[in-house]
Amino acid sequence: MIKLCGVRRYEDIEYMNEVLPDYIGMILAEGFRRTVDISTAEKLSERLDGRIKRVGVFVDTPPEQVEECAKRIGLDVIQLHGSEDSSYINEVKKLGIPLWEAVKGRCAEDIYAAEKLGCDGLLLDSFVPGQIGGTGIASDWSVISSAKISSPFFLAGGINADNLSEALKISRNVDISSGIESDGVKDIEKIRRIMKIYKENQHEQG
């Protein structure tokens, strides 16, 4: 599966509707370059093709705010990027929506600790202080490929057209944001190229 993250403009929605990724992500946490406010996210969601699943990205957001976003936007997945603990996760899981935990996996132990939190899946990202993704910096794929990961996971961090094929050897699930941008905004030509490479690899892998 492929997730294209950092969607925040109406043009981005048009691009997504053209290429039909499995998931799109919207940053619903405050204070980041790609942050989308709830009203805008609601309008973007209304224009999104129903075949694409909506992922809301949060960072230590109060559970009641997560719930409001989930209901208004129609989220299919909640993705956590902060320091949420097991009690927080148990509270949010009451919403009945699949829950992913992002892990800045500097070592295998970080990944194993995240698995114990009880989320439905992981997103293994690169570690950049103060950032929640879309940095263009690759995670340490050697750590991920050697770890014994039992949870389903997406590989993220610095994936672009040049290394996507290699990333797909580690995980058939990938999350891309900066790799489909030019000058900080989504680039339809880069998106088309990424989707072409992704589909070719999916075909080869059967």
pLDDT digits (tens, 9 = 90+) for 89-103: 999 999 999 999 999
129: pLDDT strictly greater than 70: no
Nearest to 143 by CA among 160, 118, 115, 124: 124
Confidence of residue 138 (pLDDT cuts 50, 70, 90): low
Exposed, middle or buried, 98 (CB in 10 Å: 0-12/13-18/19+)? middle
| CATH classification at residue 174 | 3.20.20.70
Tens digits of residue pLDDT in 4-34: 999 999 999 999 999 999 999 999 999 999 9
* Domains in the chain, number: 1
pLDDT in tens, 139-179: 678 888 888 999 999 999 899 999 999 999 999 999 999 99
Q: Structural domain of residue 180, as residue ranges?
A: 2-205
Assigned token pair, 132: 């929640």
Report percent pLDDT > 90 for the chain: 81
pLDDT digits (tens, 9 = 90+) for 95-127: 999 999 999 867 889 899 999 998 999 999 875
Query: What is the C-alpha separation between 54 and 28, in angstroms, rounded?
Result: 12
Please state, in angstroms and rounded to a whole number, the distance separating the CA atoms of residues 69 and 154.
23
What pLDDT does residue 126 have?
72
The three-class DSSP label of residue 179 is: helix
Contact 34, 186 (CB under 8 A): no
pLDDT higher than 80, residue 204: no
Considering only CA atoms, which of 199, 202, 200, 158 is closest in space to residue 180?
158
Spatial CA neighbour of 62 closest among 36, 26, 30: 30
What is the Cα–Cα distance from 1 to 176, expressed in whole angstroms? 11
Angle at 151 between CA 150 and CA 152, to 5 degrees: 125
pLDDT at 107: 83
What pLDDT is attached to residue 99?
97
**Cα distance between residue 153 and residue 141, in whole Å:** 13
